[in-house]
Amino acid sequence: MPEPLTRVYLVAAGQFHDIDHARLELLKLLAEHPSIRVTVAKDYADTAAIQASDFLITYTCNLVPTEDEQKALREYIRSGKRWFALHGTNSILEFLANGVNAPENAPILMETLGTQFIAHPPIMPFTVKVTDPEHELVKGIGEFETDDELYLCRIHGDLHTLLHTNFTGEATGFIEKDWPDDEPRPVYYINKVGNGEVLYLNLGHCRGHWDMQPIVDYYPNIERGSWDKPQYYELLRRGIRYCLDRVH
């Protein structure tokens, strides 16, 4: 029998990234499932439509829901739904004279997501390591090298980490630039919230020439990060399948 209809809510919006690229690639992956119909949004304002969806996918940066929207998102997950959160969904950025700040002024959102972005070192190659090699979301993928933003985050709650990396050193350009501890840095994890789950995969940086406005008028480099890696697409496909399998 055919799979029943599944309604997906995709929020792809924000600053400092090539949101168009990410949105298009995610829609292509969702289109691999004929039973999925997608609503594409620029924010979290339509909480009723989110509540009516079967699962949520987000690729954002510096897009902060209101407090009421944060509460609605938390209740959506608590009710048993899933949120596949990507890259900068947990970011709040302020560009100050002495560096980039990550104000912690959306605690409900960050506690729901399980982390808040604080800083990253300059983009450079690093190794993504498998924390839970038997989990269906990452089994058989193995370690891989990527050239991406290595997220340094404040952790909230007890995460089930699937992928991690290691970093000790300086996140140049950020207010919280010193990261001397040698704790594993989560790259992909599950955060259980009530009866539901947030899947958070923080790889996936991408940026084009005009995506740093108004900070920089023309950005010299086109950056694709992990979007150039087959492992990333496999992780995205598995995340979508995981959410889909738990709808019906």
Domains of the chain, with CATH numbers?
6-245 (3.40.50.880)
Contact criterion met (CB below 8 Å) for 83 and 109: no
pLDDT digits 0-9 by tens, 23-43? 999 999 999 999 999 999 999
The proportion of the chain whose per-residue pLDDT surpasses 70, expressed as a percent, equals: 100
The pLDDT confidence band at residue 6, using thresholds 50, 70 and 90, is very high
Q: Return the pLDDT at 2.
A: 79
- pLDDT at residue 109 is higher than 90: yes
Quote the mean pLDDT of the chain. 97
pLDDT digits 0-9 by tens, 227-239? 999 999 999 999 9
- Measured CA to CA, the distance from residue 47 to residue 69 in angstroms comes to 7
Radius of gyration (C-alpha) of the chain in whole angstroms:
17
